[in-house]
Structure 1
Amino acid sequence: MKNIIMNAINNSKKGFITYEQFILLVLYDHENGYYQMANEKIGRKGDFYTTSSVGSVYGEVIAASFCRFVKNNLIEPFFIEVGGGNGRFASSFLSYCEKKEPEIYQNLNYYLIDASQYHRKLQKELLTNHLNCKYFSNIVEIEQINNGMVFSNELFDALPVRVVEYNQNEWQEVVIIIDELNNLKENLVEIQDREISDFLRRYNFVGKNGQRVEIPVGMEKVYNLLQSKISKGIILTVDYGFTREEWDAPHRMKGSLRGYYKHEMKSNILENLGHMDITTHIHWDELKKFGLLNHIENLYFSNQRDAILDFGILNWLIPHAQSNPFSSEYKQNRAVQSLIMPGGISDSFQWLLQTKGMSTNDLTKLNELISLNEYK
């Protein structure tokens, strides 16, 4: 992978590549990119955990909400998961529908979209008994959906970004060069891309010496493609990120670009090339803006703990469960606890629920169906 990156730099007229180009290569190169490698990425044997790693409860809660939406005629039984990973979320979701809502399950179409050939292989193996699944490598491959729900978990944080740093009273772009010892190294250059300057101006990033910000240059294209595939319906985005005000916190001065290698966070992403996940916190205000530009309603936004409570996770607690820590009841209660307790995995995530093409009455009904937290 290092040779691929160095060739890209040597072939560049400017003598460097941007972080956007770097991330595209190390994560998405068709042969050597991280997501194409045939090795475990998610879970204990991989490099990172996702919420769907915490048992089946997470997928079941969202499946139950989806079924409520269908039964109230807000959407049709069509579910699109973008970035399906190892298929564990889909397995939980589909198994719940099959067991609890068999009529919906019989009419359900479930699309999984994942750029990783390895992940699609895992999905097909895990979901072999669910004949209502179809598998795609890219959003462009699916046809237009009349009415349904689009779901993604940690999709936008893995998209390529550009990086800027405030230095000598101005913003400069951080790029990657080859140093005199033939190693990869960062360098600062003048910003020449108007998209970057417009973003900094739009969100009033004044800048402090040494401050870094990631510019989400890949977000709009992916979001527009994603939302264009449904004429009417719900878009639920789960990810980790910050609102504009949160980006100004002193401890975020160095931005959020980082790597994860065997569950260790790496601040230097110029190492472990092609063998490490690379991620950034997303700009939620930018994602909401893209929705508004496409006449999409930003109906609900919350941290994951409150969201999963609103969506009814307490219904998964089993009263007087066995004290045996290896019993299924005990494990389920422990999974619920891990998702709602402070200090757990939900501290890192937020949920954004958007709607497209829905009437005022539909929005009112939808709000009622996701307000199941009686402890508010």
Structure 2
Amino acid sequence: MSDLAKLIQQEIATSGPITFAWFMEQALYHPQWGYYTSPGTKIGRTGDFYTAPTVNPLFGTMLARWLYQMWDAADRPAQWVVAEYGPGTGILARDIVAALRRNHPDLYATLNYYLIEISDTLKELQQQTLTTGEPGADHKFHWVNRLAEISPGYITNGCILANELVDAFPVHLVRQSGGELQEMYVSLSNKEGDSVFTFVPGPLSTPELAEYFNSQNVQLEEGQRAEVNLQAREWLAEVTAHLQRGYLLTIDYGATSEELYAPFRHDGTLRCFHKHHLVDNPLTNLGGQDITAHVNFSTLITWGEQLELRKKELVSQPQFLINLGILDILKEQPDYTQDPEFAKITSAIKQLVLPGGMGGIFKVLVQEKAVSQGN
């Protein structure tokens, strides 16, 4: 049994069943034993999952083009901040800044890029990635633990990026039973003489869970299970408190409330990944597997509007990239049949925009604050 499992078992033995949100937070973010905070490769071929930036630098190039458009729409301020939550290996930051330096030098000259990272292990990996990039570009990068640490405590002009961030926020698990909404807690049971984690139903840990569904006019079917991401609202409040003027870009897999809680999703969307394989049980291999749930973009929009973040755009990732001109790149190669590098680019475009690739279930939400309504 792992040290993390022992810690959680002790908590249950002392205080009783725990919410899955607390369990998931420990499994992913415990300072010493959490999945994201402990050493080990998480992303890429030798890790547990892929992200769009690991496919090809083209994804970062497209986001650099989008950043340039937003900077231009904001009247080209003399200082422009990009703050990236959960920057992973640092590949996306590297590719964005390299593309800005190459294609948009006027924006590059105004840029400061902040990586918001709580894991010391990942910070070291990001620093390795970014110090081996283009010479002279590393002075653009800065590390903070929280958005509030960006001096003087807020972003006057800029963009906040969240690529595959919100899906890893801890979620509450609920189910409809006997006409009532119940919460699913993590408890202990005895199996062949050993204590193992198991789910048990109980009353809601907070009235916010019932309010969450009422506010969206959602009624789960009898026996249906679902996830509720209350931390997303806290995160949006943090963003809007420290963004004076600019944009929030959220890229993640998810759906609207209507799609997310439809009857065909009887068992919800909670998923675990280990070595690129789907794992059904989130209560095993603590700290050794990723745990995610689909993002509810309807609530991000509603909560954002309550916090002065206006929805600018919600589209699929393929449409977002197509709107930015990703397909035009195919026209830029006069003799693509003989160019192996262009073959890689073509493969990356297919992965990012075609059905069945990474872009199939990803959505892009752009929200803005205090930017001209006409832009």
TM-score by length of 2: 0.92
- Asked if 1:63 corresponds to 2:52, the answer is no
Q: Distance in 2 between matches of 1:43 and 1:192?
A: 37
Conserved 8 A contact 1:316-1:336: no
Q: Distance in 1 between matches of 2:148 and 2:71?
A: 25
1:283 deviates by 1.1
Conserved 8 A contact 1:321-1:329: no
Residue aligning to 1:197: 210
Partner SS for 1:299: strand
Q: Distance in 1 between matches of 2:226 and 2:323?
A: 32
Partner SS for 1:236: strand
1:357 deviates by 0.3
1:132 deviates by 0.8
Q: CA 1:235 to 1:74, structure 2 compared with 1: closer, same or farther past 3 Å?
A: farther
- Asked if 1:120 corresponds to 2:123, the answer is yes
Q: Distance in 1 between matches of 2:316 and 2:209?
A: 28
> Deviation per CA, 1:259-315, whole angstroms, max 9, x where unpaired?
111111112101111000110001111110111102221010011111111122123
1:6 to 4, 9, 12: 9
- Asked if 1:133 corresponds to 2:141, the answer is yes
> Deviation per CA, 1:199-227, whole angstroms, max 9, x where unpaired?
12222332222201111121111111022
Residue aligning to 2:102: 99
Conserved 8 A contact 1:164-1:173: yes
Conserved 8 A contact 1:231-1:356: yes
Q: Distance in 2 between matches of 1:334 and 1:321?
A: 16
Aligned 1:196-235 pairs, distance under 5 A = 196-235=209-248
1:155 to 149, 165, 172: 165
Residue aligning to 1:174: 184
Q: Distance in 1 between matches of 2:22 and 2:351?
A: 37
Residue aligning to 1:319: 333
Partner SS for 1:99: helix
- Asked if 1:334 corresponds to 2:347, the answer is yes
1:171 deviates by 1.4
Q: Distance in 1 between matches of 2:29 and 2:205?
A: 25
Q: CA 1:217 to 1:330, structure 2 compared with 1: closer, same or farther past 3 Å?
A: same
Give the gaps of 5 or more residues in structure 1.
364-376
Residue aligning to 1:25: 26
Conserved 8 A contact 1:75-1:233: no
Residue aligning to 1:346: 359
TM-score by length of 1: 0.91
Conserved 8 A contact 2:147-2:154: no
Conserved 8 A contact 1:87-1:127: yes
> Deviation per CA, 1:98-142, whole angstroms, max 9, x where unpaired?
112223223210011122222211111111142110012233322
Q: CA 1:183 to 1:72, structure 2 compared with 1: closer, same or farther past 3 Å?
A: closer
Conserved 8 A contact 1:57-1:316: no
Partner SS for 1:271: coil
Residue aligning to 1:287: 300
In structure 1, what residue type is equivalent to 2:59? Y
1:8 deviates by 1.5
Q: Distance in 2 between matches of 1:171 and 1:107?
A: 51
In structure 1, what residue type is equivalent to 2:45? R
Conserved 8 A contact 1:75-1:149: no
Residue aligning to 2:47: 46
> Deviation per CA, 1:42-92, whole angstroms, max 9, x where unpaired?
111111111111100111001012123324544542211111010111111
1:192 deviates by 4.3
> Deviation per CA, 1:155-199, whole angstroms, max 9, x where unpaired?
111001111011222211100111134111100012241111111
In structure 1, what residue type is equivalent to 2:20? Y
Give the gaps of 5 or more residues in structure 2.
none
Residues matched between the structures, number = 359
In structure 2, what residue type is equivalent to 1:83? G
Identity between Structure 1 and Structure 2 (%):
30
Conserved 8 A contact 1:305-1:347: yes
Q: Distance in 2 between matches of 1:257 and 1:72?
A: 38
Partner SS for 1:32: coil
Conserved 8 A contact 1:321-1:330: no
